Chains A and B, each alone.
Chain A
Amino acid sequence: ETGVTQTPRHLVMGMTNKKSLKCEQHLGHNAMYWYKQSAKKPLELMFVYSLEERVENNSVPSRFSPECPNSSHLFLHLHTLQPEDSALYLCASSQGAAGNNEQFFGPGTRLTVL
């Protein structure tokens, strides 16, 4: 595998379910990000981990819980979601703090909450 991978690619869940999204980066980067992409809205930054430490939590509801066990893996644990949480969830990684470095994105998980 190369780049950034995400599983599953599609997920349908009820409001009472618990599920997890997984992201893995094979680029040796030290920062990882979760974004939410909804129709007609800019990408919303949810969480950032730098060197496995959470450095940003962008006012995300507690029904979303991130986990970064090491610099290559990032999880997003989901529980008691709402229909408005249906969106494309994108994971990204980057190297270092320099603003001129690009972010590398995974293909996303399309989440539907019934």
Chain B
Amino acid sequence: AQSVTQLGSHVSVSEGALVLLRCNYSSSVPPYLFWYVQYPNQGLQLLLKYTTGATLVKGINGFEAEFKKSETSFHLTKPSAHMSDAAEYFCAVSEGSGGYQKVTFGTGTKLQVIP
């Protein structure tokens, strides 16, 4: 069974400050890990994903995440927050099963950016 824990349902940062959103996972197989972003009144959009290889993954809009197997973590960071980063962020773990992806999502973290 797989699960995802996102620490902090709300995070506030000042514009220009570091963004750090935490995600821990559990999986019985080598995990595929994702971060999705959801802007108001929209569906989820992929930010980045880890499958295999390099553990530091770069995504869109200047975000990156590092896969740390020993810590079972996949935290999302961005060096400098922008007002347009205000959204809800979802960490997810996935495995292929029976012709489709079985994805488990975290409960989400709402990011507020303060001018």
Contacts and interface: CB of A to CB of B under 8 A. Distances in A.
Interface in A36-72: 40-43, 45, 48, 50-51, 55-56
Interface residues of A, number: 31
Interface residues of B, number: 30
Interface stretch (B14-22, B42-50, B61-69, B72-80): B42-50
B107 to A, nearest CB: 5
Given A105-B43, A107-B41, A40 B106 contact: no
Contacts of A101: 101
Majority DSSP secondary structure for residues of B touching A: strand
Given A43-B105, A99-B32, A103-B103, A55 B98 contact: yes
Given A40-B9, A99-B94, A100-B32, A90 B44 contact: yes
Contacts of A102: 34, 46, 49
Contact of B96 (A4, A99, A103): A99
A33 B100 CA distance: 9
Interface in A79-96: 90, 92, 94, 96
Contacts of B9: 40
9 tightest A-B CB contacts, nearest first: A105-B43, A50-B99, A99-B96, A100-B51, A31-B100, A99-B95, A43-B105, A97-B96, A105-B44
Interface of A: 4, 6, 30-31, 33, 40-43, 45, 48, 50-51, 55-56, 90, 92, 94, 96-108
